[in-house]
Chain A
Amino acid sequence: MSFAKKNGGKAFDVLQNLPRITLANLRPEPGAKKAEKRRGRGQHGGNRSGRGHKGERQRGNIPRLGFEGGQTPFYLVIPKYGFNEGHSRRPQYQPLTLKRLQYLIDLGRVDPTQPIDLTQLVNARGVTIQPLKRDYGVQLVDEGSDIFGAKINIEVQRASEGAIAAIERNGGLITTSFYDPISLGILIKPVPFFMRGQPIPRRMLPGEDMVPYYTSAENRGYLADPEEIQQARRALAQKYSYVLPDISKDELYHMLAVRKDVRQIFFGLSPGWVVNMPEKKILKPTDEKLLEYYSS
């Protein structure tokens, strides 16, 4: 184990020789603390206390917000239109910028030497997913794609083209996969699920409206053809003009190539197993029918 070169130099020496930090030595950053507005005190805060001169305003009798003195208010003049109709039935995906992902990797909260999953991201407190609020997972957004420089094997639920390009440019692998709401709840909070004593369920397939997304190679869907994905990788490299690095010659190829089965929720755990936390044991079923069901 070799030590890091001491960086800081003379400033570091000075800092070491300064006196102990106490409350007397501390002062907030200029502009950090703003003085509170106190009504009814002093020459400027007193007199009418910021309420104006007579009338409804000073006497606190203003009508409701939006009232325009009897004229049909703006919010009623505009006719209704179904912009938000069915909003509670639309799947939502929590955005994850590449900038934030790079931040998490740099701080060591996410381990790039292991496949990155939604569980890893939630454990690192990188994203917060609420399956009960129609969240269907996390989507990768390409803000920060110019500073992104980590080689990772990541699995998200949606990804923009720029984000896919940025990850593959650095020699990584990205997959988009679908988790139905129950599987998602299990994925983000695995330990409370194991404490329930239920066998790990099979992940369901996406609905008909999402099947085209997850079977297309451009989106790196988990149901797509691997050859098509290779072609799409090359096409994207051409489009965004970068050289596609050859992953098979990478030292971490074995880790990068790890992908989940279509019905699997966790890496290394199959559906049908019961994980027992107090005794640190895994129970597997031996009945043929159960095995057939869980492995179909």
Chain B
Amino acid sequence: MAASMLVQRTAALCGTFKGISVSKAVRPVNSHYGFMLQTACYNPRPLRLNLRGPYIPDKDSIKTPEWQKTARYDKKLFGRFGSASHIDPASLWPSHEELEKIIAEEKQWHPPLEVMLKNIEAKEKEETEKRLAKEKLIAANMAKMPKMIEDWRREKRETKRKLKEEKAKKAKLLAEAQERFGYSMDPRSPKFLEMVAEIEKEEKKKKKLLKRRVKEEQVAAPPVAQS
């Protein structure tokens, strides 16, 4: 076990006289009032070290309570009475086994500074990577945006136009019906539908004629161009 060394040294923190003691530090200060002596002092709580009749419990007796036979209480006795408590000062420090336990605990729960810094760096790196990835994605999508906006606008325009055309057609047909029959009729009635069918037939015939004419012209034109 370790042997402790006893070193003589006055306690630096407060005076240990019996009664009130005041620690003072006198220093001269040059202020504009003239040369004044200022003292820094505080009143420490008086340390009532009752060393006259120290109670050191009998370890072997049955009557002493259990908590007075523990190592913790021994340390407190030493702290209160010093060498008068007849306790081996070497027992104040942890034994080798206890020390190993303490070191293992510290290794597990209190990693050294380098490890902590590494962890922090890793976390920060991860965070920045995530953030950058997100921002890249956003930037890429934003770059696509004008085209997507254009497409969408075009679509809307087209649908609008188609609707308009449909409406115009329907209005035309209604007007035709009105002309032919003389009164406005329901577009769902069979007469109207017959009329629509007739008009379609006529249009088809016209188209066919047009096509034939175009073909004839084409046939007539190339031989003329050749010769």
**CB-contact partner of A277 in B47, B102, B120, under 8 A:** B47
Indicate if the CB atoms of A293 and B99 lie closer than 8 Å. yes
Q: How far is the CB of A226 from chain B (nearest CB, A)?
A: 16
Cβ contact of B80, chosen from A123, A199, A211, A278, cutoff 8 A: A278
A260-296 interface code vs B (CB 8 A; 1 in, 0 out): 0000000011001011111111111111011001000
From known contacts A4-B36, A198-B92, A287-B93, infer whether A280 and B7 are also in contact, taking CB-CB under 8 Å: no
Residue B27 at the chain A interface, CB threshold 8 Å: yes
The answer to whether B42 and A125 have CB atoms under 8 Å apart is yes
Q: What separation, in Å, do the CA atoms of A279 and B79 have in the docked complex? A: 10
Q: Is A248 close to B, CB under 8 A?
A: no
> Which segment of A53-61, A108-116, A236-244 sits at the interface?
A108-116
Q: How far is the CA of A279 from the CA of B4 in the complex (A)?
A: 15
Which residues does chain B contribute within 8 Å of A7, judged by CB atoms?
33
Q: Are B77 and A123 in contact (CB under 8 A)?
A: no
Are A285 and B4 interface neighbours, CB within 8 A? Answer: yes
- A211 close to B25 (CB less than 8 A): no
Minimum CB–CB distance for B15 against chain A, Å: 10
Question: Knowing A198-B92, A284-B5 touch, does A277 contact B16 (C-beta < 8 A)?
Answer: yes
A5 close to B (CB within 8 Å):
yes
CB contacts (< 8 Å) of A94 on chain B: these are: none
Q: Judge whether B103 and A283 touch: CB under 8 Å.
A: no
B93-A280 in contact (CB<8A): no
CB proximity of A213 to chain B, nearest CB, Å: 11
Dominant secondary structure of chain B at its interface with chain A: mixed
Point out the residues of chain B lying under 8 angstroms from A205, CB to CB: 110, 112-113, 116
> Is B218 located at the chain interface by the 8 A CB criterion?
no
- Give the size category of B's interface with A: 35 or more
B102 with A191: CB separation less than 8 A: no
The verdict on B225 contacting chain A, using a C-beta distance below 8 Å, is no
Within 8 A of A (CB), among B1-44: 1-14, 16, 25, 27, 33-42, 44
Docked complex Cα distance between A89 and B11 (Å): 36
Checking B7, B34, B35, B42 against A109 with a beta-carbon cut-off of 8 angstroms, the contacting residue is B42
- The reply on B57 being an interface residue by CB < 8 A is no
- 0 or 1 for each of B39-76: is its CB under 8 Å from A? (1 = yes): 11110110101010000000000000000000000111
The answer to whether A290 and B120 touch (CB under 8 A), given A280-B9, A280-B16, is: no
Closest to B11 in A: A280
CA distance A110 to B47 in the complex (A): 21
The answer to whether B103 touches A293, judged by C-beta atoms less than 8 angstroms apart, is yes
Contacting residues, chain B, for A114 (C-beta < 8 A): 25
Report the stretch among B81-89, B134-142, B165-173 that lies at the interface: B81-89
Additional A-B contact list (6), CB under 8 Å, known A191-B44, A278-B49: A7-B33, A108-B38, A197-B80, A276-B79, A284-B4, A286-B5
